[in-house]
A and B are shown apart, each in its own frame.
Chain A
Amino acid sequence: MAMIEFRNVSKWYGSFQVLKDCTTTVEKGEVVVVCGPSGSGKSTLIKCVNGLEPFQRGDVVVNGQSVGAKGTKLPQLRAKIGMVFQHFELFPHMDVTANLNLAQVRVLGRSLDEATAKSHALLERVGMIDHAKKFPGQLSGGQQQRVAIARGLAMDPIAMLFDEPTSALDPEMINEVLDVMVELAREGMTMMCVTHEMGFARKVAHRVIFMDQGEIVEDAPKEEFFGTPRSERAQQFLSKILHH
Chain B
Amino acid sequence: MDFGFLTQPAFSGGGTYFDWVLSGIKWTMLVSVCAWLIAFTIGSVLGVMRTTKLRWLYLPAAAYVELFRNIPLLVQMFIWYFVIPEIVPKALGTWMKQGMPMPEFWSAVLALGFYTASRVAEQVRSGIQSIPAGQTQAALATGLTMPQVYRHLLLPMGYRIVIPPLTSEFLTIFKNSSVALTIGVLELTAQARTISEYTFRTFEIFTLATVVYVLITMAVTVLMQFVETRVRVPGYVGTGK
Chain A contacts to B: CB under 8 angstroms = 47, 50, 52, 74-76, 78-83, 85-87, 89-93, 102-103, 106-108, 134-139, 148, 151-152, 155
Contact = CB atoms under 8 A, between A and B. Distances in A.
Contacts of B172: none
Interface in B113-153: 132, 134-135, 137-145, 148, 152-153
Contacts of A107: 142-144, 148
B145 A75 contact: yes
B13 interface: no
Contacts of A52: 137, 140-141
Contact of B141 (A78, A90, A102, A138): A78
A89 B144 CA distance: 14
Contact of B157 (A93, A134, A152): A93
Contacts of B60: none
A92 B157 contact: yes
Residue in B138, B145, B156, B160 with the greatest tally of chain A CB atoms within 10 Å = B138
B142 A102 contact: yes
Given A83-B138, A148-B138, 14 more contacts: A81-B141, A86-B134, A87-B241, A89-B132, A89-B137, A91-B135, A91-B139, A92-B233, A93-B156, A93-B236, A107-B144, A137-B235, A138-B234, A155-B142
19 contacts: A75-B143, A78-B140, A78-B141, A78-B143, A79-B142, A85-B138, A90-B138, A91-B135, A91-B152, A91-B157, A92-B157, A92-B236, A107-B143, A108-B143, A137-B233, A137-B237, A138-B234, A148-B138, A151-B142
A142 to B, nearest CB: 15
What 8 A-B pairs have minimum CB-CB distances, sorted nearest first? A137-B235, A79-B143, A89-B138, A103-B142, A138-B235, A107-B143, A83-B141, A137-B236
A81 B145 CA distance: 15
Interface of B: 132, 134-135, 137-145, 148, 152-153, 156-157, 160, 231, 233-237, 241
A224 B157 CA distance: 48
Contacts of B148: 106-107
A58 B241 CA distance: 34
A135 B138 CA distance: 17
Nearest to A49: B141
Contacts of A91: 135, 138-139, 152-153, 157
Contacts of A103: 142-144
B133 to A, nearest CB: 10
A135 B236 contact: yes
Contacts of A79: 142-143
Nearest to A104: B142
A80 to B, nearest CB: 8
Contacts of A92: 157, 233, 236
A136 B241 CA distance: 13
A146 to B, nearest CB: 15
B234 to A, nearest CB: 4
Nearest to A78: B143
Given A75-B143, A78-B143, A102-B152, A137 B138 contact: no
